[in-house]
Amino acid sequence: MQRCRQCVNSWPGGGAPGAQQADTVVPFGPAVPSEVACDGPAGHGAPALNLVRTARYTPYNFIFKNLYEQFQKQANVYFLFMSLLMLLGERSCLFVGTIKAWSTAGLLGLMMCVTGVVAIADDLQRHKADRDTNYGREARRADGAALTSIPWADVRVGDVLEVHQDEEIPADLVALCSSDDRGCCYVSTANLDGETNLKLREAVLQGSGMDTPCSGDVRVPAPCADLYSFTGTLRASAGARPQPVSLAHLLMKGTRLRMTRRCRGVVVYVGNDTRMQMNTKKAPSKMPNIERVVNVSMWVAVALQAVMALFTTVAYVRTRVYFQGLPYLYPDGFERTLCLPDALAYFLTFFVLYSNLVPVSLYATMEVCNAAFALYIQGDDALRVPDGLGTERHASVRATNLCHELGQINHVFSDKTGTLTQNIMQFFKFSVDGKVYGPLKQWI
């Protein structure tokens, strides 16, 4: 059987990456025990979960992952370096330590905690959205002639699901039967490829009634990310002749059933094995434009700090003999206690003294402003759209640190897919044998 080139090693019990994995036989129907239908295909162990995970953090990786992300901000690296430098001057004789290390380190820790709290608030919204998708949406499982409502998270390979018009398909299904007399159904794949035109899909068991229990098995290849290739076989009953199954019979997760009242299909891929999940890229940690500007501005301030420390050091070295001889400064005479040469030691001393040129609360202030901006966006009644279920929903902010990017858009790039143009074509003119037919009006 033909296999797609982008096979992914996420099938339970899969081998090494790139290895050819065996096709899987998925039994379905009322005669199939639930433990067989729910287990990993071909008895590969623990059942695959039909879960959607978009959250960035877990209780176990939050501290390490968030610290890594926060130290991508160059100001945090700078203040950590300054805190260590202050501690070195405070605990050694290398240079004169005039500022306590805890004053900068404590404030840095406080600001990082504020940023961490904002990150937690953002991720809690992602967890809530995941729970709403996994447990707030329900699918109809056909248990013989009866239908049972189950949350999306409980959908397993081998379940026979019934989908109604305008509903989103919860997993990758092979269409078995449809309410259409021709055994056809239409799906919208806008969530997968952005195309708004409907795709025609065919039921494998054309002519079977919707309320007739279906049983048999379907042989499918290993999970694959290719949206345009699928091959398999389906047997409606034991000993029956296998029927070929292709992309025309596959209802992918994320698509919506259109212009068809009802359709039933057998689940062949769930969770991370679905085409949609395999084509979903991990959300990167994005850095807004204003942070790039702040990073550059910070290093300009650090360069100015170094120049000021250099000039102050030169002035001190040139006048130190005079000041060291003043009795009201050194009543018992000047006694040198520094280990480093004066030029280097006092350069570090003045560099630490001028460290307040870069405000330690800069990034935390930006995070608080972004969080307030996000609350205004989510609560704006003018930013409501219908959700297709008769109600309206407000705008949702997925990353608060990108809110201010909304006012800095310079260019909008769009291809001609019909999203904006609606693919409306109007007659202008045509030419036959050199003669032009049509209105003379020139379109602008």
Rounded to whole angstroms, the Cα distance separating 26 from 44 reads 12
Pairing of strands 231-235, 216-220: antiparallel
Annotation says 39 is catalytic = no
Burial class for 41, CB neighbours closer than 10 Å (0-12, 13-18, 19+): buried
Q: Angle CA(246)–CA(252)–CA(258) in degrees, nearest 5? A: 100
**CA dist 145 to 187, 213, 215, 308, Å?**
25, 6, 12, 83
Rounded to whole angstroms, the Cα distance separating 270 from 32 reads 18
Rounded to whole angstroms, the Cα distance separating 159 from 142 reads 8
- Helix ranges restricted to H, 227-341: 275-278, 289-324
Amino acid at 158: G
Burial class for 244, CB neighbours closer than 10 Å (0-12, 13-18, 19+): exposed
Q: One of 181, 332, 387, 415 is an active-site residue; which one?
A: 415
Closest by Cα among 139, 208, 197, 131 to 167: 139
User: What is the set of active-site residues?
Assistant: 415
